[in-house]
Structure 1
Amino acid sequence: MIGGYRVVSEPTNADGGKCMWAFAEKDGKEYFLKRFLEPKRPREGSAGSAASRRIRLETCREFEDRHRSIMELLRPDASGAGNLVLATDFFHAGSTYYKVTERIDTAGLDSPHTLPAKQRTVLLRTLATSLRLLHDIDVVHGDLKPANVLVQKREGAAFHTAKLIDFDDSYLSGSPPAREDIAGDSLYGAPEWRRYVQGDEDVASADLTTAVDMFALGLMTHLYLTGTLPAHADRFGSPADAVNAGEPLVADERLGTATQALIGAATAADPKSRPTVADFLTALRDPGACTLHDTPQPRPATTAAKDGPARPAAARSRVRVNPPDRSGPPPDRSAHRPPAAGDGPRTSRVRINLGPRRAGPPRRPSHP
């Protein structure tokens, strides 16, 4: 038993970043139990100097404050939160922190671009509406990507909807974790986030706002409509790297001109030039916004990637490359059991996503 929860599966680190996870039960209900590998609360009488203990306690206090403040702002019973999979409990047992969410069905659609245009519109609207709930209270999701969006269709429902999951890396707009602690995914990370984790002192914590999520939403919109991310020169490892170098991201020309412009604006170099999520929802009112035409459509008059100046890359990156295994078919997420344990914990919270940029969406993790 851990904090009143009975663990019913073998804990594993599979797709878990800096945590272990397992399924658990309490009072007849099923839960997803996540055990954080760090930070660790110092025990009474533990080795180390008084100064070291104070530093560790301060790190733990900041960790607790961030998670609890997000939980207070994002409550499962909040109006409109039906498509947010939120934490129900956060506690520590001994020196270790745990977070709990309800266990949900993680089976879903991996290829949203195969849906009809109207279905894609509803899907993007539900995703953006969920994101608006966060942004309206100045919360940044912090790790928006396909793996953290479950595309599902309830029995008897006419449309697929999007459930937004994994708020462990969320933070208040303008108040992200420290450079060495912040998490994210390099493929969907915004240009300012990329420079922040690389140690670029020209990017301050105040520069990481809800616009970080809008960059990822722009990329995901292109992915959901076409099956690929916007194109960029192969010499860049990610869309953000290309944008930071002043290179434009090129939208599929089969998208309508207005949609190309929307994606271009969302992926602009300057965070202040990106649309808000409310602007994004307004743009989706266009009946043709999610149409993929058979013939090339006119290009927008301007290139959004040039809205901001090129930024020099930091001389030394603090990001440790940890490429995931992307060989073989996607896992069966409907099995409702964790993979076999044995994978060692990763050493970096920043996920270096080296999946193909033009061959379709990256694999989804097998956990909720």
Structure 2
Amino acid sequence: MLFCPRCHKLFHDDGEVCPYDGTDLIPPPDPRMGAKVGSYLLLDVLGRGGMGKVYKAEHVFIGRTFAVKVLHPKFKDYREYVERFLFEARAAAKIQHPNIVQITDFGYTDDAIPFFVMEYMEGEELVDLIDKASPLPVYRAVNILTQVASALAACHDEHIVHQDLKPENIFLVKKQGRRQLVHLQDDPQRPYKLEYEDTYDQVKILDFGVAHLARIKTEDTIAGTPEYMAPEQARGVIGDFRSDIYSLGVIFYEMLTG
């Protein structure tokens, strides 16, 4: 297999340039690109994290695009990391909510490394939106806030605490507008105007890698991101539902202030 660094398409070894844009083809930058795991052909790397990589993939039978997360090979022999990876998949799959990424499949690669399959989404992380557009308009920040809060309520109903809520773990998918917005004006004859929004942000919460069951208590373990973790988490006490709400408050403040 060869890879086009411009359009990110894979090609069989029967040419030197990309037929779409003329870019010189190179070997895939990741050894798993072009490989098949289960019924999924891995096409490109979407992201990297501390525990593994997320690939854009295609189901070889139905042709649908998915995202596949594969545990890093260096963790395959460490029970703690494998169990955490499995819990991430089970936690997200257990919670059926429109604002939580959907898990659709699970399996093992030929070299016995676990992976799970998620819905494929196009959009951006909240951290990128904050970096380029903060402070956000209040109506947009509130729209994101309410969706995250609804998703957290569903998690907490299942006794699952996310424990690492941050803008990097909140994904925004552009959807066609559905509401009318009220804009205040200085004109006393027309103090406000109504207009339909072009698009709105549908929230998807990602990465349950450090989530836990609320009934399981663990001390002396710091999990999360310092800028967003609740004080008790920083002291090494495992967080509960309130810790997620604290993190959401920090995120809301950041959306409004930058």
TM over 0.5, yes or no? yes
Q: How many residues align?
A: 195
| Map of 2:100 onto structure 1 | 84
| Map of 1:48 onto structure 2 | none
| Map of 1:212 onto structure 2 | 243
- Whether the 8 Å contact between 1:175 and 1:208 is mirrored in structure 2 is no
TM-score, with structure 2 as normaliser? 0.64
- Aligned-pair CA distance for 1:113: 4.5
TM-score, with structure 1 as normaliser? 0.47
Q: In the aligned structure 1, how far is the partner of 2:143 from the partner of 2:112?
A: 44
Query: CA 1:161–1:125 in 2, change beyond 3 Å: closer, same or farther?
Result: same
Give the SS at the match of 1:23.
strand
| Map of 1:333 onto structure 2 | none
Give the SS at the match of 1:25.
strand
Structure 2 regions of 5+ residues with no counterpart?
A: 1-35, 180-199
Q: In the aligned structure 2, how far is the partner of 1:121 from the partner of 1:169?
A: 26
Give the SS at the match of 1:91.
strand
- Whether the 8 Å contact between 2:89 and 2:103 is mirrored in structure 1 is no
Amino acid corresponding to residue 6 of structure 1 in structure 2: L
**What's the Cα RMSD here?**
2.9
1:148 has 2:166 as partner: no
Higher relative contact order (CA 8 A, sep 6+): 1
Q: 2:252 aligns with which of 204, 221, 229?
A: 221
1:40 has 2:76 as partner: yes
Q: In the aligned structure 2, how far is the partner of 1:161 from the partner of 1:67?
A: 22
Q: 2:146 aligns with which of 103, 107, 125?
A: 125
Query: CA 1:107–1:84 in 2, change beyond 3 Å: closer, same or farther?
Result: same
| Map of 1:165 onto structure 2 | 206
Query: CA 1:104–1:119 in 2, change beyond 3 Å: closer, same or farther?
Result: same
- Whether the 8 Å contact between 1:113 and 1:120 is mirrored in structure 2 is no
Q: 2:64 aligns with which of 23, 29, 32?
A: 29
1:100 has 2:113 as partner: no
Deviations along 1:273-325, one digit per CA (max 9) or x if unpaired, are: xxxxxxxxxxxxxxxxxxxxxxxxxxxxxxxxxxxxxxxxxxxxxxxxxxxxx
Give the SS at the match of 1:8.
strand
- Aligned-pair CA distance for 1:194: 2.0
- Whether the 8 Å contact between 1:174 and 1:208 is mirrored in structure 2 is no
Give the SS at the match of 1:185.
coil
Q: Percent identity?
A: 27
- Aligned-pair CA distance for 1:108: 6.2
Give the SS at the match of 1:219.
helix
- Whether the 8 Å contact between 2:87 and 2:209 is mirrored in structure 1 is no
Structure 1 regions of 5+ residues with no counterpart?
A: 42-55, 197-202, 228-368
Q: In the aligned structure 2, how far is the partner of 1:185 from the partner of 1:59?
A: 20
Q: In the aligned structure 2, how far is the partner of 1:139 from the partner of 1:29?
A: 30
